[in-house]
Amino acid sequence: MSPLLTVEELLALRSSGSPRLLDVRWKLGGPPGPDEFRAGHIPGAVYVDLDAQLASPGSSEAGRHPLPTAAAFQQSARSWGLNSSDTVVVYDDNGLLAAARLWWLLRWAGFDGEVRLLDGGLQAWKEAGQPLATGDEPAPAEGDVTLGEGKLPTVEVDEVPEFVENGGLLLDARPAGRFSGEVASIDPRPGHIPGAVSAPATGNLGDNGRFAAPDVLRRKFGDLGVSDDRAVGVYCGSGVTAAHDLLALAVAGFDADRVPLYPGSYSQWASRPDTPVATGPAEPPLIDAAEARRRVAEGAVLLDTRSPGGREKTGPIEGAIIVDRDNLDAEFDFGSAERHAEVASLQTPIVVICGSVNGSGPVAQNLIGRGFVNVAHVEGGAPAWHELDR
């Protein structure tokens, strides 16, 4: 069963029982979650304070959102009215980037009940024409749930280097600009953990704010090197959005329960004077021409970055958008009138092709550095593409 559920499934669940509905409204830098909750929430929901209830106090030694203690988390869960046999449905208003933390924590703490997440969150509820409640909800009766810790794997800061050196794949769920170090960081040193690969959590979502389809997510993570028989770990800035990548792995059909979370994440790593930091954008995945054609057939935008002479020599590619690789600032600036309208958002799947990877690779890497989260380029370039027609 998918950890996600639709509004229709939530309504059916509510008609047949009383799921415990938890609202994890939180964004880095605000606005304050309690105010957003009072302004409108799903009727019967209980507000969960991520900073106060889903984390211990932050520090440079432990990171911004260390895991809560078992005792503190159990106390919080009981204050939400949570009982051991409950079915829990979690949501937020930001693509489940915060709600995924609670989904992971409950399972890490050994909660026996079912934990689901409302795909699309509060926006999906509103789009379905469902009512909102305002103000504060009555405090629920104290729950009786018993929680512990350590039921899902974690990796600690001193274990990270060995994890990578032994061939483990470390996914970084932060935006690409923070991974590369090109965007100002709230952490002491910009960049990423050496050996990590960029896997922005926002890339798990489609343009409608819902999760991408399982097969799309499976290809995305497969391109990054994820497989059923490889050790994989996940981190982010403070251990919150990393849970979103874990959720996406589960939706994609991987065994996410074997994938450790690095709780201290980059906020802890970058605060230590003895840890190395790498900078620079992620390497874009290289795919063969057959895979490129399949992606384009499924809706990816094909960008032809060849020079006019190269296109004349090799021949045009039907349906491809001609891109001037020397004018990327205008062609992919969302504030520019020259921007390609086909590239609607940073979530738009993109395939870059040139005469060879020497031309397509730098363009694909440039787009990743701009925040595009689903970019690949074609091995063998246009000659390999045309060879499929022969």
- Known catalytic residues? 236
HSE-CB for 199 with a 13 A CA cutoff: 34
Amino acid at 218: R
Q: How far apart are CA 384 and CA 202, in angstroms?
A: 32
Of 72, 81, 247, the C-alpha closest to 147 is 72
Of 311, 154, 178, the C-alpha closest to 234 is 154
Q: What is the DSSP letter of 258?
A: G
Q: How far apart are CA 130 and CA 124, in angstroms?
A: 9
DSSP string, 352-364: EE-SSHHHHHHHH
**311: CB partners within 8 A, 6+ apart:** 304, 322, 382
Segments in the chain forming alpha helices (H)? 7-16, 33-39, 50-53, 70-79, 99-108, 121-127, 160-165, 176-180, 214-224, 242-251, 265-269, 289-297, 308-314, 328-331, 357-369, 381-387
Three-state DSSP at 111 gives coil
Three-state DSSP at 390 gives coil
- The rounded Cα 175 to chain-centroid distance in angstroms is 9
Q: How far apart are CA 22 and CA 12, in angstroms?
A: 17
Amino acid at 2: S
Pairing label, strands 286-287, 232-235: unpaired
